Amino acid sequence: MMNDEPSYYPLPQPDQIIEREREDAMGAYLMMFAAVAVALPLPVINLIAAIIYFYVNRTKSRFIHFHSLQSLLSQIPTTLLNWGLLYWTLRIWFFDSLEMDDYYLGYLLTTVVANISYLVFSIIAAVQARKGRMYYFVFFGKLSYEMVFSTSNSITYAVDSGIVHQNKPPQ
């Protein structure tokens, strides 16, 4: 990105993306739902799960790398919001040091809206990923694209180097 015009790797088209890649890319979004369900009282497990998923899968292919990065990035703000809500709620109900006022209720509703939009967009992205298509979230989509498809990204992907087919029939 030293030049004015950054260069990018070509986007993989659906017919170039194998089934396995599509499933792994979709998994990046779907796994989050399971994690969110577990993490509801303590909104950090989903983030840990996303980070692990990202590091395990990112070198498999550029397509998977993009989707798992987008999924990971996009849940950071939601997680922060949920943390804020948890902290605020505890202050009110357990430590009695803050009052439930309009700012809190406004924040509560905003967090609910943020979580719902996150879930809705994740479902759409999961469906698109399964079809072998790109899907860009506001900000996170573009950021992930920059990070994954820019030519400054020098990761060698397994799918390109053929490491995927390491298992061979008995000789």
List contacts with another protein (CB under 8 A): 1, 6, 77, 96-99, 101-103, 105-107, 109-110, 113-114, 138-139, 142-143, 146
Contact 55, 94 (CB under 8 A): no
Least Å distance between CB 164 and another protein?
Answer: 31
* Angstrom distance (rounded) from CA 124 to CA 5: 31
Least Å distance between CB 82 and another protein?
Answer: 13
Is the CA virtual torsion 14, 61, 45, 145 positive or negative?
negative
Least Å distance between CB 10 and another protein?
Answer: 19
Least Å distance between CB 149 and another protein?
Answer: 12
Nearer to another protein, 17 or 71 (CB): 71
* Angstrom distance (rounded) from CA 72 to CA 4: 28
Nearer to another protein, 116 or 124 (CB): 116
Contact 21, 130 (CB under 8 A): no
Nearer to another protein, 16 or 110 (CB): 110
Least Å distance between CB 17 and another protein?
Answer: 24
- Is 170 buried (19+), middle (13-18) or exposed (0-12) by CB count in 10 A? exposed
Nearer to another protein, 34 or 112 (CB): 112
* Look-up of token digits 């087919």: 165
Nearer to another protein, 13 or 152 (CB): 152
**CA–centroid distance for 52 within its chain:** 11
